[in-house]
Amino acid sequence: DTGVSQDPRHKITKRGQNVTFRCDPISEHNRLYWYRQTLGQGPEFLTYFQNEAQLEKSRLLSDRFSAERPKGSFSTLEIQRTEQGDSAMYLCASSHGQGGSPLHFGNGTRLTVT
Amino acid sequence: GESVGLHLPTLSVQEGDNSIINCAYSNSASDYFIWYKQESGKGPQFIIDIRSNMDKRQGQRVTVLLNKTVKHLSLQIAATQPGDSAVYFCADTGANSKLTFGKGITLSVRP
């Protein structure tokens, strides 16, 4: 399968714990995006990378959130001191990065904070 | 088929009929538009895209229409099938390819 891969698919954690998600984009794609989606809503942009450089972060990305893409390939999204409001689907997408190229999404990581 | 705006969350159509899903966008600087389909438990799946220099684009059983004057986008699905049942999102983007999604419409296909 050469699509976007996310791990884990599901994560249940207790409030206050740290969690880390991984995304492996389509190999030839140089842009990688993180989105968050809550039930009944469209995905909301969190951040994106051009190769290893993080170029933009949403106001939704509080200081408890950090994303990295150290070698310009896979990316990790860490949430520290999780809160119940962090419960959501975290989606990763990648694209060629050229103007007008579609984002291809993974199947997400479903986070539940108890 | 029936047409609805993003203000109505559900569209129900008879199998075999045509479906029309409408979307209004707000950013007049948007130059690229995409329709996604999302099934339960999965990420959004690319259906079709269109650039702002076009007003119509056709794919297999799907057509996207763009009216930049009124900032309106529509997705037409011909001969709707049960497998088309899903939530559909329109999304638009500017220069940095950051997509902004609408809230989505649930398409339900009646057998």
What pLDDT is stored for residue B6 in this prediction? 44
Asked if A14 and A113 count as a contact pair (C-beta separation under 8 A), the reply is yes
What percentage of chain B has pLDDT greater than the value 90?
74
Give yes or no for residue B83 having a pLDDT over 80.
yes
* Residue B97, phi-psi category: left (phi > 0), alpha (psi -120 to 50), beta (remainder): left
pLDDT in tens, B49-62: 999 999 999 999 99
What pLDDT is stored for residue B52 in this prediction? 93
Of B87, B48, B90, nearest to B72 by C-alpha is B90
- B48-81 residues labelled b (16+ CB within 10 A) or e (exposed): bbbeeeeeeeeeeebbbbbebeeeebbbbbeebe
Give dist(CA A13, CA A20) in Å, integer. 11
Nearest neighbour of B43 by CB, restricted to A42, A95, A107: A107
Q: For all residues of chain A together, what is the average pLDDT? A: 93
What pLDDT is stored for residue A99 in this prediction? 65
Q: For residues B100 and B16, which has the higher predicted lDDT (pLDDT)? A: B16
pLDDT in tens, A4-43: 999 999 999 999 999 999 999 999 899 999 999 998 889 9
Of A43, A112, A70, A7, nearest to B98 by C-alpha is A43
What pLDDT is stored for residue B99 in this prediction? 87
Residues of chain B contacting A93 with CB distance shorter than 8 Å: 43
What pLDDT is stored for residue B98 in this prediction? 79
Asked if the C-beta of A58 comes within 8 angstroms of chain B's C-beta atoms, the answer is: no
Closest chain A CA to residue B47:
A102
Q: For all residues of chain B together, what is the average pLDDT? A: 89
Q: What is the DSSP string of A45-104?
A: EEEEEETTEEEEE-TTS-TTEEEE-TTSS-EEEEE-S--GGG-EEEEEEEE--STT---E
- Mean pLDDT across the stretch A77-84? 98
- Give the dihedral sign, CA B65/B61/B83/A43: negative
pLDDT band at B4 (very low <50, low <70, confident <90, very high): very low
Give yes or no for residue A100 having a pLDDT over 50.
yes
List, as ranges, residues 38-67 from B with C-beta within 8 Å of A. Answer: 41-46, 49, 51
Give yes or no for residue B93 having a pLDDT over 60.
yes
Residues of chain B contacting A97 with CB distance shorter than 8 Å: 97
pLDDT band at B103 (very low <50, low <70, confident <90, very high): confident
Under 8 Å CB-to-CB from A23, ≥6 apart: which residues? A4, A5, A6, A32, A34, A74, A75, A76, A77, A92, A106
Q: For residues B64 and B2, which has the higher predicted lDDT (pLDDT)? A: B64
Q: For residues B1 and B20, which has the higher predicted lDDT (pLDDT)? A: B20
